[in-house]
Amino acid sequence: MKQFLSIKDVEKPEGLVQQALDLKANPFGYSKLGKNKTLGLLFFNASLRTRLSTQKAAQNLGMEVMVMNMSTEGWQLEFEDNVIMNGESAEHIKEAAAVISQYCDIIGIRTFSGLADSAEDYSERVLNTFVANAMVPIISLESATLHPLQSLTDWMTIEEQKTVNKPKVVLTWAPHPKALPQAVANSFVQWMQQAPVELVVTHPKGYELAPEFSNGLTIEHDQNKAFEGADFIYAKNWSSYNEYGKILCQNTGWTITEEKMSLTNGGAFMHCLPVRRNMVVSDQVLDNGNSLVIKQAENRTYAAQAVLKSILEG
């Protein structure tokens, strides 16, 4: 693999899922592969799981890791070409990406959506200008519109936990006090459409994902109906795409409760975390035996390890 920005960079997604499961069974089987190689992790916003699991993944492969919080520790970067840099930005991405490429063999980047301008977010300017100016492979640690490491993990977790060949997987919107990106949802449907699952998406009207992600999806606006017979309930809040970045609904009737889970086929609850308790999902659902959220977080390590391994080998 040459880079990991989305599922489009993965030749055989199901093969990468299998690789992640194999690495979970044998985490140190390739502990010499990354010898004398350095992974740089650059964060333009907060992270807990991605930061720690990707570090751990690199360590399992024998890599060195450097981590930097760009928003608080680095110079403010300029991403525009042909600008007079007489404002706040101290360093151009051209120099920064080239310099970091001297120190690192692979660079991971976490960016975030501004949620103000859909064209700006969906152009993935920060990630793409890094790719254009870096001399080494780039891994997305969540970008403005996608979170492929999370989706690879989610497929892996479903593969590991499923009890039927082709489980019914429901992506459900859930309420949240803040406007959040569509990244996790976009990426989840993109990967699930290639997975051996029956995917159903449920959300209030107005929360349709961007056409490139929603085309061909089975949408059921009645959440209770969507839950019927589900094997996995994947909850996530996202803000509106059409009324870009807006919160259109805060109806806690969409919160995932035990009552709703009882409509499923003994279904398991999934969420990428961090999760707002009793907004997105009730305490009871998170604290009972059918929640997979901690297993998902555990699997983040092996998903990242599979990606790093493929890039080191490729």
Q: Which token pair is 15?
A: 């093969």
| Residue 2 or 178 with smaller CB distance to ligand SN0 | 178
Of 100 and 280, CB closest to ligand SN0: 280
Q: Shortest gap between Cβ of 283 and ligand SN0 (angstroms)?
A: 16
CB 145 within 8 A of CB 118: no
Closer residue to ligand SN0 (CB): 132 or 273:
273
Q: Which residue is nearest to ligand SN0 (CB)?
A: 180
Length of the chain: 314
Shortest Å, Cβ 308 to ligand SN0: 19
Strands 77-78 and 168-173 turn out to be unpaired
> For ligand SN0, which is the closer residue by CB, 185 or 200?
185
In the complex, least distance from residue 27 CB atom to ligand SN0, rounded to whole angstroms: 23
Q: Which amino acid is at 244?
A: Y
Nearer to ligand SN0, 34 or 148 (CB): 148
Answer left, alpha or beta for residue 116, where phi above 0 means left and psi between -120 and 50 means alpha: alpha
Give 9 or 154: the residue with its C-beta nearer to ligand SN0. Answer: 154
In whole angstroms, the minimum distance from the beta carbon of 177 to ligand SN0 comes to 8
Q: Which residues contact ligand SN0 by CB under 6 A?
A: 147, 150, 178, 180-181, 183-184, 272, 274, 276
* Terminal alpha carbon distance of the chain: 5
Least distance from C-beta 69 to ligand SN0, angstroms?
16
d(CA 42, CA 53): 14
Nearer to ligand SN0, 154 or 159 (CB): 154
Q: Which is nearer to ligand SN0, 115 or 138 (CB)?
A: 115
Look up residue 179 and give its two tokens: 């406007």
Contact 163, 231 (CB under 8 A): yes
Kindly tell me the burial class for residue 133, based on how many C-beta atoms sit within 10 Å of its own C-beta (0-12, 13-18, 19 or more). middle
Angle at alpha carbon of residue 74, lines to 68 and 75, rounded to 5°: 160
Sequence-ordered strand ranges (E) for 70-217: 77-78, 91-92, 106-110, 138-140, 168-173, 198-202
H/E stretch holding 65 reads strand 64-69
Are the CB atoms for 19 and 34 separated by under 8 Å? no
Shortest CB 184 distance to ligand SN0, Å: 5
23 and 50 in contact (C-beta within 8 Å)? no
Q: Tell me the closest approach of the beta carbon of residue 10 to ligand SN0, in angstroms.
A: 20
* Least CB distance to ligand SN0 at residue 35 (A): 31
Return the amino acid letter for 136.
V
Phi, psi of 83 (to 5 degrees): -110, 150
